[in-house]
Amino acid sequence: MQRLEELLSSAVRRALNELYETGTADLPVQIQKTKKEFEGDVTVVTFPLVRFTGISPEETAKVLGTYLKKNLAEISGFNVVKGFLNLNISGTYWLNVIKEACKDHYYGIQIPDNNSPTVMVEYSSPNTNKPLHLGHVRNNLIGFSISRILEASGKKVLKVNLVNDRGIHICKSMVAWKKFGNGETPDKSGKKGDKLVGDYYVLFDREFKKQVEQLVESGEDRKVAENNAPLMVEAREMLRKWESDDPEVTDLWRTMNGWVYEGFDTTYNRLGVSFDRTYYESETYKLGRELVLEGLKKNLLEKEEDGSVWADLTDKKLDRKILLRSDGTSVYMTQDIGTAQQRFSEYNLENHIYVVGNEQNYHFQVLRLILEKLGFEWAGRLHHLSYGMVELPGGKMKSREGTVVDADDLIDEMIFTAKTMSDELGKLSEYSDSEKENIYRQIGLGALKYFILKVDPKKNMLFDPQESIDFNGNTGPFIQYTFARIQSVLRNAGNVETEIPDVTPNSKETTLARLIYQFPEIVVAAGEEQDPSVIANYMYELAKEFNQFYHDHSILSAENDASRLFRIHLAGKVGEIVEKGMWLLGIEVPERM
């Protein structure tokens, strides 16, 4: 069946040709959803058409409305608001929308094939000096969801993780463990490995600050003291030894990183995210250094007297960026140069998306410009999906001070809250303990994921665990409950005929048909905008409208058999779209709640 936009665009062009002999076969026609305050389903914007008609936008709208109603069976009426032609679509068209959608199990979802463009999405990218926290949770949820959305938009997607497993921050944890650890291990302490290593990162910062204050009190300038504090000197020396492949340092590095990887995997599994491939900074930074040195030989980069290497971006109205320190060690930018080159040499990427917080906006702007300076034609295909920070009612989090919200603790809290609220409602009393625990998990994680993903990634957000798990309003549990309600209806309906009867949808049924019709467009828009909140807020609108329909109209006790069968199919399709949409967000929907 032809989409409304195609049908109306063709009809408008035909009207212009017939009425005004304009020859506008390829004219783009502006069509949009009618605003809620006006009557209608779709709106044709007539302002751009007056150059063909020679009359006012309002008169143009009236002429086109009369033509369309006369020549298209799909148009049941129209009204004009200034230069906006608001069209009412017939009930027959919406009935056919439901029939077509019910026939198509993959409605709204495109299946990539061998010719589909490939997009790489990098997300998570943790440092191996601390456990995953609330900020990482937002990163992982956005990256995983946008990967599914892009795939549903017809792209082949490679989900990758870049583990930042080297650098001065890693050495800080290593120095602290070596000085203060007394051989502590995850097995001995009973702690997850990532949490154990994170504790030593916090310990380093605490002891480092003590040393700095002692030096300042002795008369040293604070910046000099921060540079000369014994712990910082040890960390820099450890980094130098690591980059020189010192066996003792690399053995300690492998051991502590191994603890962290095991802890990360546990959290990823609990969060329900995964990767197609994991890269390690320790394996890519040398390639970046080689590319920098090659650029230096070609006089594309500059070398200072102290031996450091820089990229001069002042011609782009930016500053100079260091790429190699005076001691020859690499910076983050160097590693990112190497990793980007490696990925584009391995895969034919249409686009490479970095899911990284907005504090790194400048970094990725500089990365693209340096790659362009080095002559890589694909540099323009790098895209930074910049997202805002997550704050709690108590304020910002600080990793060094150990004031972050640990991801595992947050998951535990969400599941416990889901259990408490579910037990208060008393609707799971007939289920086994294992079934209950699974539902608590689905509700708790659904609340967490939805609350984060319903916010435009570009915006900072305040995460309130209690508000997120409310069973009413724009929340994950509300949408999950809607799905469970639909499944209950379908179970009680039993086996029904597959053929949908010809009925005229009422206003509530028509509203649901409109929303069903929009689903394919919503998926594409979310992919193009790289914004899961487009899906999330559509899910809420669909669930809200279904619950209003459910409240106003009986499904199983409808006034006649035809309406009953039609409503069962309508409910089933809404449930299917809810399940697909929530899956795109990485959220499970329980069949019973």
> Does residue 82 sit in the same domain as residue 185?
no
What distance in Å separates the CA atoms of residue 412 and residue 406, rounded to the nearest whole number? 10
How far is the first Cα of the chain from the last one, in angstroms, to the nearest whole number? 37
> Does residue 159 sit in the same domain as residue 242?
yes
Residuewise pLDDT in 10s, the chain (593 residues): 889 999 999 999 999 999 998 877 788 999 999 999 999 999 999 999 999 999 999 999 999 999 999 999 999 999 999 999 999 999 999 999 999 999 999 999 999 999 999 999 999 999 999 999 999 999 999 999 999 999 999 999 999 999 999 889 999 999 999 999 999 999 999 999 999 999 999 999 999 999 999 999 999 999 999 999 999 999 999 999 998 999 999 999 999 999 999 999 999 999 999 999 999 988 888 899 999 999 999 999 999 999 999 999 999 999 999 999 998 878 889 989 999 999 999 999 999 999 999 999 999 999 999 999 999 999 999 999 999 998 877 644 444 444 578 999 999 999 999 999 888 878 788 899 999 999 999 999 999 999 999 999 999 999 888 889 888 899 999 999 999 999 999 999 999 999 999 999 999 999 999 999 999 999 999 999 999 999 999 999 999 999 999 999 999 999 999 999 999 999 999 999 999 999 999 999 999 88
Range of the domain at 44: 4-89
φ/ψ (deg, to 5) at 83: -95, 20
What distance in Å separates the CA atoms of residue 463 and residue 472, rounded to the nearest whole number? 17
What distance in Å separates the CA atoms of residue 32 and residue 44, rounded to the nearest whole number? 7
Asked if the structure places residue 100 within a domain, the reply is no
Asked if the structure places residue 151 within a domain, the reply is yes
What distance in Å separates the CA atoms of residue 150 and residue 350, rounded to the nearest whole number? 12
Question: Does residue 76 sit in helix, strand or coil?
Answer: strand
> Does residue 326 sit in the same domain as residue 470?
no
Report pLDDT for 394: 62
Which whole-number Å values give the CA distances from 255 to 203, 252, 258, 561, 574, in the listed order?
Answer: 19, 5, 5, 68, 51
> Does residue 436 sit in the same domain as residue 486?
yes
Question: Hunting for tokens 């969400």 — which residue is that?
Answer: 414
In sequence order, what are the beta bridge partners of 162? 279
182 contact partners, CB below 8 Å, separation of at least 6: none
What distance in Å separates the CA atoms of residue 15 and residue 18, rounded to the nearest whole number? 5
Tell me, what CATH number does 181's domain have?
3.40.50.620
> Does residue 384 sit in the same domain as residue 290?
yes
Specify whether the CB–CB gap between 257 and 196 falls below 8 A.
Answer: no
Strands 156-163 and 118-122: parallel
Asked if the structure places residue 95 within a domain, the reply is no
Task: Report the candidate in 318, 323, 247 with the shortest Cα–Cα distance to residue 288.
Answer: 323
DSSP state of 500: P
Specify whether the CB–CB gap between 392 and 463 falls below 8 A.
Answer: yes
Asked if the structure places residue 110 within a domain, the reply is no
- Give the CB-side neighbour count of residue 551, counting CA atoms within 13 A: 7
What distance in Å separates the CA atoms of residue 426 and residue 421, rounded to the nearest whole number? 9
Which whole-number Å values give the CA distances from 111 to 33, 150, 316, in the listed order?
Answer: 27, 10, 41
Question: Which residue among 335, 362, 391 closes a domain?
Answer: 391
Tokens of 278: 């994991």
Asked if the structure places residue 207 within a domain, the reply is yes
Element at 204 (helix H, strand E)? helix 193-217
What distance in Å separates the CA atoms of residue 266 and residue 590, rounded to the nearest whole number? 23
What distance in Å separates the CA atoms of residue 177 and residue 197, rounded to the nearest whole number? 8
> Does residue 283 sit in the same domain as residue 423?
no
Task: Report the candidate in 310, 450, 443, 288 with the shortest Cα–Cα distance to residue 376.
Answer: 288
Tell me, what CATH number does 553's domain have?
1.10.730.10
Burial class of residue 209 in the structure, from the number of CB atoms within 10 Å of its CB (0-12 exposed, 13-18 middle, 19+ buried): middle
Asked if the structure places residue 590 within a domain, the reply is no
Report pLDDT for 403: 53
What distance in Å separates the CA atoms of residue 208 and residue 291, rounded to the nearest whole number? 35
Asked if the structure places residue 401 within a domain, the reply is no
Specify whether the CB–CB gap between 8 and 65 falls below 8 A.
Answer: no
Task: Report the candidate in 72, 61, 105 with the shortest Cα–Cα distance to residue 2.
Answer: 72
> Does residue 139 sit in the same domain as residue 85?
no
Tell me the Cα Rg of the chain: 29
Angle of helix 433-453 relative to helix 134-152, nearest 10 degrees, comes to 90
DSSP line for 374-417: TT-GGGGGEEEEEEPPEEBTTB---TTTT-S-BHHHHHHHHHHH
Instruction: Kindly provide the residue ranges of all beta strands, DSSP E only, lying in 1-83, ordered along the sequence.
Output: 31-33, 42-45, 75-81
Asked if the structure places residue 431 within a domain, the reply is yes
> Does residue 379 sit in the same domain as residue 425?
no
> Does residue 369 sit in the same domain as residue 437?
no
* Segments in 218-331 forming alpha helices (H): 222-228, 230-243, 247-271, 281-297
Element at 440 (helix H, strand E)? helix 433-453
Element at 566 (helix H, strand E)? helix 561-584
Tokens of 526: 């979310």
Task: Report the candidate in 8, 133, 134 with the shortest Cα–Cα distance to residue 73.
Answer: 8
> Does residue 431 sit in the same domain as residue 506?
yes
The model's pTM is: 0.92
> Does residue 127 sit in the same domain as residue 54?
no
Specify whether the CB–CB gap between 322 and 352 falls below 8 A.
Answer: no
- Per the structure, how many domains does the chain have? 3
Give, in degrees to the nearest 5, the angle at Cα 392 between 390 and 393.
Answer: 145
What one-letter code names the amino acid at 383? H
Question: Hunting for tokens 């069949």 — which residue is that?
Answer: 591
DSSP state of 360: G
What distance in Å separates the CA atoms of residue 450 and residue 134, rounded to the nearest whole number? 14
